[in-house]
Amino acid sequence: MKRLLRFLLSRSFLLAALAAVQIGLFIAVVMNFARIGTVFYSVLTIVTALCAVLVFEKTNTNPAYKMMWMLIILLMPVSGVLFYLFWGYHTFSARVAKDFLAIERRGSAVMVQDDALLEQLNEWDPSMRRCAEYLVRAASAPVFADTQCAYYRFGQDFFEQFLCELKKAKKSIFMEYFIIKEGEMWNKTLAVLKEKAAQGLDVRVIYDFAGCLFTLPTGYDDELRRAGIRCCVFNEIHFTWHISEYKLLNHRDHRKIAVIDGEVGFSGGMNFADEYINRKRRFGIWKDTGYMLKGPAVFHLTTSFLKMWDFVTGDKTEYAKYVPRTRFAADCFVQPYGDAPMDGESVAENAYFNIIERARKYVYITTPYLILDHEMLTCLCRAARSGLDARIITPGIPDKWYVYYVTQSYYAPLLEAGVRIYEYTPGFLHAKMYVSDDQVAIVGSANMDYRSLYLHFENCAVFYGGHMVGDVKADVTETLRQSREVTLADTARVPLPKILCQLLLRLFAPLM
């Protein structure tokens, strides 16, 4: 039943269904052409032209995204329009937009930037301040000091420390994850959550409906509530007469956040499933990374969780009550930030742009999915042609063959520009990291694809200086040693059928 439901909710099924409608409509028109052909053709031409203009003129939309939808509309003049209005036209119902913006305003009010920290960044490197100030202004994401940080190269390292801190919880535990799957990782976590809930702690869990459709049984949120755990499901499908609200199904909560007592925070690229800690082998060795924060910067993770909680449940939390009290000696600045599809700002992608454009010596990138828009492709190629040592590591063993095909389709133009490409040979690389010039690093949940950068709720953190940047670079360097470098000769040997498949898939890359 779950497989059927997921199939029926998928973009692939919807596109196929609308294509069938289009074919049926075409047959009906042909059979009745003498009677309705002229009028129908005229109306169809006008409607299609208006929709194409709407797509073309829409602001804050990626050009490749526009081109894909214009192609769908022109190929399927009726059903393509319906498909665009449902999945491609990024507007939200007035109620949803109003609620979200009200929550964002309340959250932004407590995210106050200490200007002295920005001045310290400016004295160190003015370009750093510009990167930081963008996130302050665009994402209400302050720079924090006095925060202890730890970096984890693999999921199993992360999980060991996570469990240790989880067992120390005295007041609250907040968890927000795209995927939760029953198994060793989640079952051990759940045992602690139940124990803490029984002791009277405020234990809350948010998980994404689509992300957990195959991994958790129906009604799992009710099961958690019966154990004393407060739980809500993001974007759970339900019947409504407001058709616009179904469009939210195209937007997923892809964040990875865990906060303990408002003082300790965990995040990174990992979900809660056994492959992330290599207890289950799906695609070779699963390479993923995470980090722990203790101190002031945890407040942003806490507030991000609570804003999502309020958005889903309708609560109105007083965020200022959760300001951390602890301070630690630290050798770096930390700037956690979030991204949401409702604010019209591509925060995650722009943060990546800022790292690439300010780099002077090198920028190293790891990503499981390399589905680039025109701006990112141009930015990377320009940086490499300017002499920057730009390197990208992708998986050696893919989790989705069609996404892997699209990823590989970008190799040739990047390599021609001087970007070096590597594939992680031991298995699947799920880590999303940037590191540059031994000065700045980003670790988080945002992939380099359209869905992460334009459609999903994401969270990342920037680390300025200190051991965290060194730890990320050392990890990336070691990962490079375990990876195979791709050459232009490799791209020249790609068989013609695969090239044709890649060309077709590239047209629909924004849907992946």
| Three-class secondary structure assignment of 72-122 | HHHHCCCHHHHHHHHHHCCCCCHHHHHHHHHHHHHHHHHCCCCHHHHHHHH
Sheet with 440-444, edge to edge strand ranges: 333-339, 458-464, 440-444, 433-436, 362-366, 389-395, 420-424, 483-486
Residue 325's Cβ-count burial label (10 Å; 0-12, 13-18, 19+) is exposed
Q: What residues have CB less than 8 Å from 252, skipping those under 6 apart?
A: 178, 208, 210, 211, 234, 235, 451, 455, 456, 457
Q: What is the rounded CA–CA span in Å between residue 312 and residue 255?
A: 14
The pLDDT of residue 357: 93
Q: Which residue has the tokens 């690093």?
A: 441
What percent of the chain lies above the pLDDT cut of 70?
79
Is the CB of residue 368 less than 8 Å from the CB of residue 393?
no
Give the residues across from 268 on adjacent strands: 290
**Sign (positive/negative) of CA torsion 305, 204, 173, 170?**
positive
Average pLDDT value over all residues in the chain = 87
Residue 466's Cβ-count burial label (10 Å; 0-12, 13-18, 19+) is middle
Tens of pLDDT, residues 27-76 = 665 566 555 556 665 666 676 666 666 665 565 566 666 667 777 776 66
Characterize the bridge pairing of strands 290-294 and 483-486: unpaired
Q: What is the rounded CA–CA span in Å between residue 360 and residue 352?
A: 15
Tens of pLDDT, residues 434-445 = 999 999 999 999
Hey, is 263 helix, strand or coil?
coil
Q: What is the rounded CA–CA span in Å between residue 436 and residue 465?
A: 10
| DSSP 8-state symbol, 272 | B
Positions in the chain whose pLDDT score sits under 50: none
Question: Largest alpha-carbon pair distance within the chain?
Answer: 82
- What is the reported pTM? 0.86
**Sign (positive/negative) of CA torsion 251, 204, 448, 136?**
positive
The pLDDT of residue 358: 94
Q: What is the rounded CA–CA span in Å between residue 99 and residue 246?
A: 16
CA-wise closest residue to 413 among 390, 380, 386: 380
Please compute, for residue 452, the number of CA atoms within 13 A of its CA located in the half-sphere on the CB side. 26
Q: What is the rounded CA–CA span in Å between residue 243 and residue 89?
A: 13
Is the CB of residue 512 less than 8 Å from the CB of residue 450?
yes
Residue 175's identity, in one-letter code, is: M
The pLDDT of residue 10: 52
- Overall size of the chain counted in residues: 512
CA-wise closest residue to 269 among 284, 252, 250, 254: 254
H helix or E strand, kind and range, residue 381: helix 374-385
Is the CB of residue 404 less than 8 Å from the CB of residue 398?
yes
Q: How far is CA 489 from CA 376, 395, 412, in A?
A: 24, 19, 9
Q: What is the rounded CA–CA span in Å between residue 450 and residue 79?
A: 23
CA-wise closest residue to 469 among 333, 351, 370: 333
